[in-house]
Structure 1
Amino acid sequence: MRLVFGLVLVLGLGLAGFAVYMAKNYIQGYQAQLAHERAQRKPNIETVNIYVAKNPLRYGDQLDIEDTALIAFPKASLPNGYYDTEDALFPNANSAPRKILRAIEPNEAILEIKVTKPGEEAGITSQLQKGMRAFAIKVDIASGVSGFLRPGDQVDVYWTGNIGRNGARTEGNSTGAVTKLIQSGVKLIAVDQVSNSDTTGAILARTVTVSARPQQVAALAQAQSTGRLSLSLVGAGDETLAEVIEVDQRSLLGLAEVAVEKKEAPVAKKQVCTIKTRRGGEVISTPIPCTN
């Protein structure tokens, strides 16, 4: 009986071991197939390491290596002006540090448009493109759009003054007091002493600084010295080309032009001078040259 019991025990242990072996193989095979399926379903996204901010960076802050980190970014969604090497972002071991032009949040990509060139300060000179000049325009609460102007906005510039002397006309056939659009889509780079485009509070400015070509600067200077300039804020993303706009009082009120009749100058009568002489009972008139 003991022999039979021993054989049964050994047989049972063998069957149990075989079952465990088969179950293990089945589970391993299932896990391998599941991992293979997951690998196939996983999107194959190519990435590039780019520099991002580690800490919040604000206008005027100095950009140091400790403030940045390299992270993987999808190659298909890379923004323009990113930095992917230390030499590009920190040339010459950051001997001439960059400054922050626009606020950068943690894990946000550091872009060319948001930092100055190496060694430059975060002033308006860093916002002037090649060939452009800075020009200041005097404004008040009305002509400055009630404090809603911000650096980076675009404005149309209107001139109001008196034109047309001695009956002269402009191209718009206007005379006297007139308002005319002289520049459109001009970019603001500073409002009073503020050049930070991240400013959110209202600024009741006395001057605004615009970026303009030298020819535009000359036109604005001439207009400012001969009349009053007003600004009109252009909507974000509005690329509409403004038409020629010129309004005088006559066209504003819809008054028709009254033709002025020209009066002919009176014709001067020719003066005749005579001398009268009496011959007996007859009086004779003799014409003579007039002395007066």
Structure 2
Amino acid sequence: MNRRNIIVLAAAALFGLVAVFIVNTWFSGVEEQQERLAAETPLAKVVVASQPMEFGAPLTQENIRLVDWPSRSVPPGAFNNTESVLNGTRVALRPILVGEPILAERVSGTDGRAAISANIPEDMRAMTIRVNEITGVGGFVVPGDVVDVILTRQMQGEGATSADVVNAVILESVQVLAIDQRSNEKDTSPKVVNAATVLVSPYDAQKLILAARLGSLSLTLRNIEDQTTGATTMVTGREIAGSGFYVPARNNPQPAAASGGTGSTGSVAAPAYRGPTMTVVRGVDGTDYRVKRYGRR
């Protein structure tokens, strides 16, 4: 190996060592800075979930633990000791993830009831409406979804018939709290349902009660990120393709008069008799009589 190649290799090794030294020095500085910040930041004890918990899951010593948490970012309602959490029988009112702080608003009181009322915000109401496998979007609506509520009712007026119906969207972007007795947001398996509990204002709750008496209610599932409202219009049965076609009434023929004379106007005459007849003359008046056939001719 000539002298030039040796010099190149030595220079490359030197630059490599310098780069490693610089990187190590930088990482060491970052670690020291983080340790210094951690030492300067006061910590507090916070109870967090050590296992994922669903709605109604009881809080036990196995699914919670105590960790250090920056005191400046402790969320309101957090517990600072496990004894407070385990005082009585508490259950989760909402799904809680691993490492998420246990908050007072997300767990029940010491009575252990998983009340759905804890999920109702202030000035809102939970209202249950009757649905079925069709009006409930085939059972694919689950707690946490957002739906529109459509009312189907008979049109008013003296000229309205049973075919004159109208659809109207009476509520938009309504959150579903529960389906039948299910309130777990992670239970997404489709099931045939009979009722849906939705989150509405007190005014909208009254609208739903009256709408249920006027006609049938249906749900339409919408994208939870779609906040568009007011873009829908009423739809009547006359706007459905093919609803303008109809079959007129047919006139039934009227039987002819029994006396053999002419019937009333519009009646159909009886067919003429073509069998054998016999004429009997009395004086100058003749009368025709039908002759019945007996045996073979």
**Unaligned segments of structure 1, at least 5 residues:** 1-31, 169-174, 257-292
Is the aligned partner of 1:137 residue 2:129?
yes
1:40 to 22, 25, 29: 29
Residue of structure 1 in register with 2:118 after alignment: 126
1:220 to 188, 208, 214: 208
Deviation at 1:219, TM superposition (A): 0.8
Whole-angstrom CA distance in 2 between matches of 1:179 and 1:35: 71
1:1-292 pair list within 5 angstroms:
37-42=26-31, 44=34, 50-64=46-60, 67-72=63-68, 83=78, 85-86=80-81, 91=84, 94-106=86-98, 108-112=99-103, 115-119=106-110, 121-166=113-158, 176-253=164-241
Give the aligned length: 214
RMSD between superposed Cα atoms in Å: 3.7
The C-alpha deviation readout for 1:223-265, integer Å capped at 9, x for no partner, is 1111111100121322222424211133445999xxxxxxxxx
Residue of structure 2 in register with 1:286 after alignment: none
Check 1:162–1:149 CA distance in 2 against 1; reply closer, same or farther (3 A cut): same
**Aligned amino acid, residue 67 of structure 1:** N
User: Contact (CA 8 Å) 2:150, 2:170: kept in 1 or not?
Assistant: yes
Check 1:113–1:191 CA distance in 2 against 1; reply closer, same or farther (3 A cut): farther
Whole-angstrom CA distance in 1 between matches of 2:226 and 2:77: 26
SS in 2 for 1:250: helix
The C-alpha deviation readout for 1:87-144, integer Å capped at 9, x for no partner, is xx865x75354311344454x2135498234336213222222222222211111110
TM-score if structure 2 supplies the norm length?
0.59
Whole-angstrom CA distance in 1 between matches of 2:145 and 2:74: 22
User: Contact (CA 8 Å) 2:77, 2:104: kept in 1 or not?
Assistant: no
Check 1:34–1:249 CA distance in 2 against 1; reply closer, same or farther (3 A cut): closer
Deviation at 1:58, TM superposition (A): 3.2
Whole-angstrom CA distance in 1 between matches of 2:104 and 2:79: 15
User: Contact (CA 8 Å) 2:179, 2:195: kept in 1 or not?
Assistant: yes
Check 1:244–1:118 CA distance in 2 against 1; reply closer, same or farther (3 A cut): same
Deviation at 1:185, TM superposition (A): 1.1
SS in 1 for 2:48: strand
Check 1:90–1:180 CA distance in 2 against 1; reply closer, same or farther (3 A cut): farther
**Unaligned segments of structure 2, at least 5 residues:** 1-20, 245-297
**Aligned amino acid, residue 28 of structure 2:** A
TM-score if structure 1 supplies the norm length?
0.60
User: Contact (CA 8 Å) 2:93, 2:116: kept in 1 or not?
Assistant: no
The sequence identity of aligned pairs, in percent, is 27
